[in-house]
Chains A and B, each alone.
Chain A
Amino acid sequence: MKKLRVVLLVAAILVLAAVALAWPRAEHIPSSSPQAYAPSSANIERGAYLARAGDCIACHTARGGIAYAGGRALDTPFGRFYGPNLTPDADTGIGAWSADDFWNALHNGVAKDGRLLYPAFPYTNYTKVTRADSDALFAYFRSLAPQRQPNRPHELGFPYNSQALLAGWRLLYFRPGVHEAQPARGAEWNRGAYLVEGLGHCSACHSTRNQFGANKEGLDGGLIPTLGWYAPSLTSGSEAGLGDWDKEHIVALLGAGISPRGSATGPMAEVVARSLQYLTPDDLGAMASYLQSLPATQAPRPDRAPPAGEQVLAEGRRIYEAQCAQCHGDDGRGKLPAYPPLAGNRAVTLTPAVNAIRMTVNGGFPPGTKGNPRPYGMPPFGHELDDAQVAAVLSWIRTSWGNTAPPVTAVEVNRYRAITSD
C-alpha cells in the first residue's frame, strides 16, 4: 500500500515536471517605442486595416450591434463563446489595457487578469502577428468610441470551463511565436504567408479539427462544426485547391466574392464581406501566391458509393431543366459573372456534399462588395423541392458534364435542411 503511494507520488512529480518543462512560455517582445502604439492617425489607419485583415469585427460584434462592442455567439462542440468588448471602455472593454496587455492576449493567449484565453479566439494564428502590427491594432481599438457593454460569460459545461484543462490543451497544441520569414521565398510569398497563417486565420475553418478542437497543420479542409458548412481543402486539387487557378481569379474570389471559377457562399461570403474585400490588391495577390505555393495534398477518397439509379438521375435531369438550367445553362457552364459554372465546380462535387445541399435548399447571394455591389441571387428551393428531389438533382449535377462525384441521398439532404440558415 505504502509502496503504491510512493510510486504514485513519483509519477505525479514526473508528470508535473514534464508539464512545467513543456509549458508554453509566454513570450514577451517589447514595443519598438511608445510611438508604435501612440494614437497617431498613421497607427490608427494601419490598425484599422489590420483589424479588417483579421476579421476581428465578425466575432466581436453582435448582429445589429455596435462594432467591436462584443456579444456575438460562437457555437462550438464545447459550448457557446461570446466575443468580448474590444472598445476602450474602462470597465467592460479594453480601456484599462496597456499595449503589453494587448500583445499578451494576441500573442500568448492570456487575458489582462492572467486568465488563459480559449482558442475560440484564434491566438494559435494571431501569435504569428508582429509586435508592430499588434501595437497598430491596439492604437486602432483605443481610438474607437468606448461602449459600455458588459461581456457575456461563455456558456461552457464541465470540464470545458476548467482553466486546468485549458492549460493542458495549450501544452499540447499551442506555442507562441511570430511568423518567421523565409527570405528565399521572396517578399510577396512571405507577406501572403503572414496574412494567411496569421491575421487571416484561414486555418480556423480550412483545416480539420481533432476531437479536442485543435487545428491540424495545413489548410486541408474540414467540416465547420455546428455551422454545417464544409470549408474545402485549399491544397487538394479535387476540392478547392488553388494550384491550377489563375491568380487573378483567386484575387477576384477573395476581393469581390465572385470569380469565373465560383462564388463565395456561406461563411466565406461573410469573410469576404467583412474582411477580404477591404484588403489591397497587393495583399490579396500575396495571399493567392502563398496559397498556390502550398504543396498539393490528396483529399481522402470518398467511400465508393453505388451510383444513383437511372430513374433518380432522370428525375434529377428533369428538375435541373425546369429549375436550374435557365441560370446555370444546359451545359452546366453557368453565365458569368452572375451564375457560376456547375461543370467542374468543386463546391458542387465536394464530398461531403453539404455545401451543394445547403445552396440548393437555401439559395443565397454572394456578398455585396465594391467589386460586385449588386449581386445576383440564387433562389432557395427548400420549399419547392423535397429531400428526394434535392438529392436527385444534385446527384445528376454531380455526374454530368464531366463531373464524377458520388450521389447525394435524401437522408443527407434532410440532415442539412434542418440547420438554421442565419
Chain B
Amino acid sequence: MRSRSLRLFFASLFGVAAFAATAAPQTIPDTLDQRLLACATCHARVDARGNPVNDSFYPRLGGKPAGYLYHQLLNFRDGRRQYPLMTYLVDHLPDAYLREIAQHFAALPPTVLPSQPSGLPAAALERGRRLVVDGDAARKIPACVACHGARLTGVQPNIPGLLGLPRDYVNAQFGAWRNKVRRAHAPDCMADITARLSLDDVAAVSGWLAAQPMPIDARPAESVARPLPLACGSDPEAR
C-alpha cells in the first residue's frame, strides 16, 4: 500500500514518472522534483488512492507566493520559526538554493483541498467570518482580506493565502505568534495582530477559514490595495 501511495503522489503531484522499485533507472533526473523528494513526504501526502491528504499539520506548498515561501525557509533556518525538523532540513542550504526551492513550489499548481467542517456553534463561526471579512476597528484588528486578498488566496509576492490550511496548523501559528516563537522581520505585523486577538477570536477565525471551500483557481492575487492596514517587515512593498 505504502509503496503504491508513494509512487502515486510522485506521479500525480510532481508530474514525474513513477519508479517501480524493480526497474529503478540508473540515471538520476537532474530536476528539482527529484532533489526535493524530502519535502514531499509531509507536504504532498496522499491517501491510498492518490488523493491529497489534509488531515495533518503540514501545509501544502504548491502555488504559494515565492517570496512568502522563501522567507519561511529563511525563518526556519535562522530560528524565527520553530519546527526542529524543518530547521534541520534547511540548515545548511545556501540562500540561492532556498530561493530556487521557493520558486519551484510557487510555480506548481495549488492543490485544491476539501474544506474541513467545523464543530463551532453558528455564533462563533459568524464571529470568525466578521473578523476575517471586516476586522474589528474598535480593537484595531484589520480584516484578513485587507492583506490576504478578497478571495483569501494571498497576494504576490509575499502574502500567503489562508484557505486550504489545516485548522490545527492555523491555530498553531497564532499560538506561536502569541508566544513569540514565530517571528518575522520587524515590524512583525502578524505578531501585533495576534496580540489583539482573544483565544476565542483565534478559534473562531481558524474554524471559519478551515470551513471555507477553496476556489478552483486558488492562485494568489497579483496585487492588493495599498497601503496595507499595517506595515509588515516580511512584505516590504507595504511600506
On whether the beta carbons of A373 and B84 are closer than 8 Å, the reply is: no
- Does any Cβ of B come within 8 Å of A380's Cβ? yes
Whole-angstrom distance between the Cβ of A21 and the nearest chain B Cβ: 47
Q: Which of B26, B37, B78 has its CB near the most chain A CB atoms (within 10 A)?
A: B37
CA distance A380 to B80 in the complex (A): 22
Q: What residues of chain A lie closer than 8 Å to B42, measured between beta carbons?
A: 380, 383
Chain B nearest CB: distance from A55 CB in Å?
Answer: 13
The answer to whether A293 has its CB under 8 Å from any CB of chain B is: no
Binary flags per residue of A350-376, CB closer than 8 Å to B gives 1, else 0 = 000000000000111111100001111
Q: Which residue of B lies closest to A64 (CB)?
A: B78
CA distance A367 to B93 in the complex (A): 6
Scan residues 1-50 of chain B and give those whose CB is less than 8 A from a CB of chain A: 2-3, 6, 19, 21-22, 24, 26-28, 32, 34-42
Tell whether, in the assembled complex, residue B35 and residue A376 are in contact, meaning their CB atoms are under 8 Å apart: yes
Interface size class of B (residues with CB under 8 A): 35 or more
- Contacting residue for B85 out of A270, A272, A375, A380, CB 8 A: A380
Q: Which of B26, B40, B78, B100 contacts A379 (CB 8 A)?
A: B40
Chain A positions within 8 Å of B96 at CB level: 373
Docked pose: A380 CA to B58 CA in angstroms: 13
Q: How many A-B residue pairs have CB under 8 A?
A: 111
Taking the complex as formed, is B92 at the interface, i.e. its CB lies under 8 A from any CB of chain A?
A: yes
| Interface flag for B94 (CB, 8 Å) | yes
Contact B3 A363 (CB under 8 A): no
Across the interface, B88 reaches (CB within 8 A) one of A374, A379, A422, namely: A422
Among B22, B26, B41, find the residue whose CB has the most chain A CB atoms closer than 10 A: B41
Interface residues on chain A, size class: 35 or more
Contact A322 B6, CB 8 Å, known A379-B41, A422-B91: yes
Does B97 belong to the interface (CB within 8 Å)?
yes
Q: If A326-B21, A339-B28, A421-B84 touch, does A365 touch B37 (CB 8 Å cutoff)?
A: no
CA distance A360 to B40 in the complex (A): 15
- Whether the Cβ atoms of B41 and A377 lie closer than 8 Å is no
Name the distance in Å between B239's Cβ and chain A's nearest Cβ. 22
Does A321 make an interface contact (CB < 8 A)? yes
| A381 at interface by CB-CB < 8 Å | yes
Q: Which residues does chain A contribute within 8 Å of B89, judged by CB atoms?
A: 362-365, 377, 380
Q: Are B35 and A377 in contact (CB under 8 A)?
A: yes
The B interface is mostly helix, strand or loop, or mixed, namely helix
How far in angstroms is the closest Cβ of chain B from A24? 36
Question: In the bound complex, what is the Cα–Cα distance between A379 and B45 (angstroms)?
Answer: 12
Whether the Cβ atoms of A422 and B2 lie closer than 8 Å is: no
**In this assembly, does B79 line the interface, its C-beta being within 8 Å of a C-beta of chain A?**
yes
Min C-beta distance of B54 to chain A, whole Å? 15
B87 at the A interface (CB under 8 A): yes
The residue on B at minimum CB distance from A331 is B24
Contact A335 B78 (CB under 8 A): no
Q: Is the CB of A377 within 8 A of B37?
A: yes
Bound Cα distance A331, B113 (Å): 39
Indicate if the CB atoms of A381 and B87 lie closer than 8 Å. Answer: no
Interface residues of A in 375-410 (CB under 8 A from B): 375-384
Instruction: Find out whether the CB atom of A330 lies under 8 angstroms from the CB atom of B38.
Output: no
In the complex, the answer to whether A368 meets B97 with C-beta atoms within 8 Å is: yes
* Most central of A64, A339, A382 by chain B CB within 10 Å: A64
Judged by DSSP, the binding face of A is: loop
0/1 interface trace, chain B 80-106, chain A, CB 8 Å (1 if under)? 100011011111111011001000000
State the CA gap A422–B21 with chains docked (Å): 32
In the bound assembly, the distance between CA atoms of A378 and B36 in angstroms comes to: 8
| Interchain CA distance A363-B89 in the complex, whole Å | 8
**CB-based contact B92/A325 at 8 Å:** no
Across the interface, name the chain B residue whose C-beta is closest to A339: B28
| A329 touches B (CB below 8 Å) | yes
| Complex contact A368–B92 (CB within 8 A) | yes
Residue contact A376 to B91, C-beta cutoff 8 Å: no
- Does A375 contact B19, Cβ atoms closer than 8 Å? no
Give the residue name and chain of the A residue nearest to B98 (CB).
Answer: A368
User: Is there a chain B Cβ closer than 8 Å to A136's Cβ?
Assistant: no
- Asked if A380 and B28 sit within 8 Å, CB to CB, the answer is no
In the assembled complex, the CB of B50 is this many whole angstroms from the nearest CB of chain A, namely 16
Q: A392: shortest Cβ distance to chain B, in Å?
A: 13
Which residues of the other chain, B, contact A383 by a CB distance below 8 angstroms? Answer: 41-42
What residues of chain A lie closer than 8 Å to B84, measured between beta carbons?
420-422
Interface residue A196 (Cβ < 8 Å from any Cβ of B)? no
Question: In whole angstroms, what is the CA distance A326 to B80 when docked?
Answer: 35
Q: B2: which A residues are within 8 A, CB to CB?
A: 322-323, 384
Q: C-beta contact mask, A36-72 vs B, less than 8 Å → 1, else 0?
A: 0000000000000000000000000011100000000
Q: Are B35 and A270 in contact (CB under 8 A)?
A: no
Provided the pairs A363-B38, A421-B84, A422-B91 are in contact, do residues A63 and B97 lie with their beta carbons within 8 angstroms?
A: no
Q: Contacts A273-B92, A364-B88, A367-B92 known; A321 to B3 CB distance under 8 Å?
A: yes
Supply 25 A–B pairs (Cβ within 8 Å), ascending by A: A272-B92, A273-B92, A321-B3, A323-B6, A338-B34, A362-B89, A363-B38, A364-B38, A367-B92, A368-B92, A368-B94, A368-B97, A374-B35, A374-B100, A375-B35, A375-B97, A376-B37, A377-B35, A377-B38, A378-B38, A380-B38, A380-B85, A382-B85, A422-B84, A422-B88
Kindly list 19 other residue pairs between chains A and B, CB separation below 8 angstroms, not including A273-B92, A368-B94, A421-B87. A63-B78, A63-B79, A64-B80, A322-B3, A323-B6, A326-B21, A330-B24, A362-B85, A364-B38, A364-B88, A365-B89, A368-B97, A374-B100, A375-B35, A377-B39, A378-B38, A379-B41, A382-B85, A422-B88
